[in-house]
Every structure is written in structure tokens, then in C-alpha cells.
Amino acid sequence: MILIFDIGNSDVTIGLWNGQQWAHLWRTPSKIEQPELFYGIKVRDYFLESQVHIDQVSHIVLSSVVPGLTAKIKNVISTIFNKEPLMVGPAIYSKIPLEILNPYEIGTDLVANASAAYARFHQTCIVVDFGTALTFTTVSGKGKILGVSIAPGLKTAIRSLSQNTAKLFDVPLEIPPSALGTTTITAIQSGIIGGYEGLVKNVVTKIRTELKEECPAIATGGLSSIITPLKEFFYAVEPNLTLDGLRVIFEWVNNK
């Protein structure tokens, strides 16, 4: 089985691929201040609770956009599994059939999203990732990352609003009953969630206009299911697309 670690700004997502499907998915908050031991215990507990033996893991892939956690997780992998992970980054990009835009700048999560979309849909796609940042990664049908657009993510926007405004506070990410907020909570929900619906549609429309192509938009990320009015707007909603992309990269590198 292939074990994949995706270290994001909000969470460390861990997926165990059994050759056919994701047998297990685990998620823990990304906290740079936590010691290596904390993550080691987490990983051991996940395997113990899921009744999966450590020896069942044959290969490991590691992607990270949080430098402060990369070495810790890599050490956890070495200690528990006694294996060297495939590190996703510029050093291996020459081995994958994807032309990477600014390889030393673009996040490995965005490369993974583009890889999964290219491998699965075989046409120009816009991957909209609802994470800590809201990202739009466009990959051509010929396997070239054409560009990326980045905006603050939903939680990031709400957190910024509550931290910088004395009388506002964190609110749950839920669709409000009306665009006319009648309480502080529904007012924030209406402005943020309703506003982001328009933001997503506008950015995707601008990309399509510039490309002169009706390329499909694919949604992913932990918050991809929050804005339900966008469900029909997306060609597909794939919550595990980033993990799928990291698995695809592993297969490309190893010619499987």
C-alpha cells in the first residue's frame, strides 16, 4: 500500500491507498509548534485504530507547503516505517509528463491538483481548491500548467474579519437563509459565502474567456462542499483530488 502525506497550511492529510481506493484517510491540524513526537504518536494511533500493520506500507509520498513541518514529518516516516519518502518538488518534476510553471515557486499541492486533473480528464481544466487559500490552477489538455490565481480561503477571510473588527467574531461556515443578514452571524455568512460564490464564478469565467475555451471547473479541498449553490457550476467535486495527484505523481516517477 502507498501512504501519502500532504502537509497543508491548515491540516496534515494522510491517505492510505490499497491499489484500488483510499482505504483510510486521516487528518490532523498543522501545528508547527507541536514536537515530532506528537505526530509520531498520531500516525501510530491511526494505524492501530484502523488495524493496519505498518509493514503493509510499501511506498511513501510526502508533499509539503509548510517548511516548518517537513523535517518533522520526514523524521516520523523514517522512525516508524524505516523508509525514505518520495519528496514531491522540483527535483522530480523532470520525471513527470507535466510542464510546471515556475517550479521553485508553485506549491506542490497545486502541482498535485494539476497532475490529477490532467491524468483524469485529458482536457484543459480549472482546479478550484477550497483550502486555507482559494486557488485556481489551470492545466492544459497537453499537460502544461497555464497559470494560477490565489485568493484568501473562506476560513481565512472569516478569521481576518473577526480578528480585525472589534465587534465581529468567528462564525460557522453555513449557507445563510437569506442574502439579507438579520444577525451578525447571518450577515457575515451572507457576505463571505455569498461573495465567494460570485468570486469563484467570476474568476473561472475570466479564465475561460482568456483561453477562449469552455474548460470544466473541478472543485476540491476540505471546504469544497460548503458553497452548495456552486455544485451545479462544477463539472465534478473531488475532495481527494490533491491526494490523487500525489499518487499519480508517484506512479509517473516509478513508471507504474
Q: What's the CA gap between 107 and 94, in Å, rounded?
A: 16
Q: What are the C-alpha distances in Å from 251 to residues 61, 89, 113, 158?
A: 11, 15, 15, 38
109, 129, 170, 244: the catalytic one is 109
Cα 234 from chain centre: 17
Q: Is 109 a catalytic residue?
A: yes
Q: What's the CA gap between 165 and 133, in Å, rounded?
A: 21
Question: So which residues are the catalytic ones?
Answer: 109
